[in-house]
Amino acid sequence: MSKYLVAGAGGFIGGHLVKSLLDEGHQVVCADIKPIEHWFQYFEECENFSFDLKSYDNCLKATKGVEFIYNMACNMGGMGFIENNKAECMLSVLINTNLLRSSLKNDVKKYFFSSSACVYNGSKQEKTFVEGLKEDDAYPAEPEDGYGWEKLFSERMCRHFKEDFELETRVARYHNVYGPLGTFDGGREKAPAALCRKIIFAKENNISLIDVWGDGEQTRSFMYIDDCLAGTKKLFKSDCSRSLNIGSEEQVSINQMIDIISEIAGHKVKKNYQLDKPKGVRGRSSDNTLIREQINWDTTYSLKSGLELTYKWIYDQMKNNPPSNTNKFTTSY
């Protein structure tokens, strides 16, 4: 049994990770800026802190007596959020900075940083159905403005803490993680959850039209949460200290994903394209060649199988608390 800190434990991936570590018999310290009543998952058996990890003093408190750290904490959301909150997203660099400093002070053995596919060079993402992004495609640097720059800078910081201070660090570049117990309304949700919500609302209210940001031809790959956790823990336990993709190679357009969800719902919809909304890069997906070579990991869930589970969970939530107007929320990705 080991003692872990999960920073960002009140978030989507963080909450699932805490449960997985508890199921393995570990002690877990949880920290998140959100009030505990707003955490996605809460576990009484953990040591729980609701405070801001941009503070060095709070980081020192959270890391005391901890052997291993998973840093999942950052200010983020779908494309609509990160395009309109660049400064707020970049302030997350203070979380990584102070957690790394605290790791040295409190003799942490190993540190994990959750990076993002938003670090990749934008010039390689200007067409739909592009080749999967390889790890070397992050340089020369031209990441997503704000959020992507923070992630890329924090990756470098992890690298130099390993080189200069011999702190074992691991870095994963996540590609669009989705699944049950995630955000599906309010403005921070990503495309799979937002589209499930809109199609559920359309079906329940006999509506045939949903709003879609852009022309629907934008492409992405989406990774189910269970695959994310398996890859994350395998990378953390490995000897690989370079940044690795953790994502799916199954690239689809937004239009194709809408068709998949419509089939799951048994309700066909028409698309009202909103060309003035934030759209992000034109095409993005993961190349898993390096992670297969380094740690022998790959995804096991198809997009459809993951969406079926996600759709069912969101459907149950909406049955208990139906929204009054589904189009007031974003369809971001």
In Å, what is the CA distance from 72 to each residue of 158, 199, 206, 222?
Answer: 14, 30, 39, 18
**Long-range contacts of 319-325, Cβ-Cβ distance < 8 Å, separation of 24 or more:** 322/201, 322/204, 323/185, 323/197, 323/201
**Helix, strand, or coil (residue 216):** coil
Phi and psi at residue 328, in whole multiples of 5°? -80, -10
DSSP code of residue 54: T
Is 301 catalytic? The answer is: no
- Report the DSSP pairing between strands 177-178 and 270-274: unpaired
Cα angle 228, 112, 220 (rounded to 5 degrees) comes to 35
Rounded to an integer, what distance in angstroms lies between the CA atom of residue 191 and that of residue 330? 9
Give the residue among 51, 57, 58 at the shortest CA–CA distance from 35.
51
As given in the structure block, the two tokens for residue 272 are 């009202």
In Å, what is the CA distance from 40 to each residue of 12, 16, 44, 188, 306?
Answer: 6, 9, 13, 14, 19
Amino acid at 295: I
Contact (CB, 8 A) for 189 and 76: no
Contact (CB, 8 A) for 325 and 278: no
Catalytic residue among 4, 111, 147, 224: 147
- Report the DSSP pairing between strands 110-116 and 27-32: unpaired
Q: CB burial class (10 A; 0-12, 13-18, 19+) of residue 6? A: buried
The residues annotated as belonging to the active site are 147
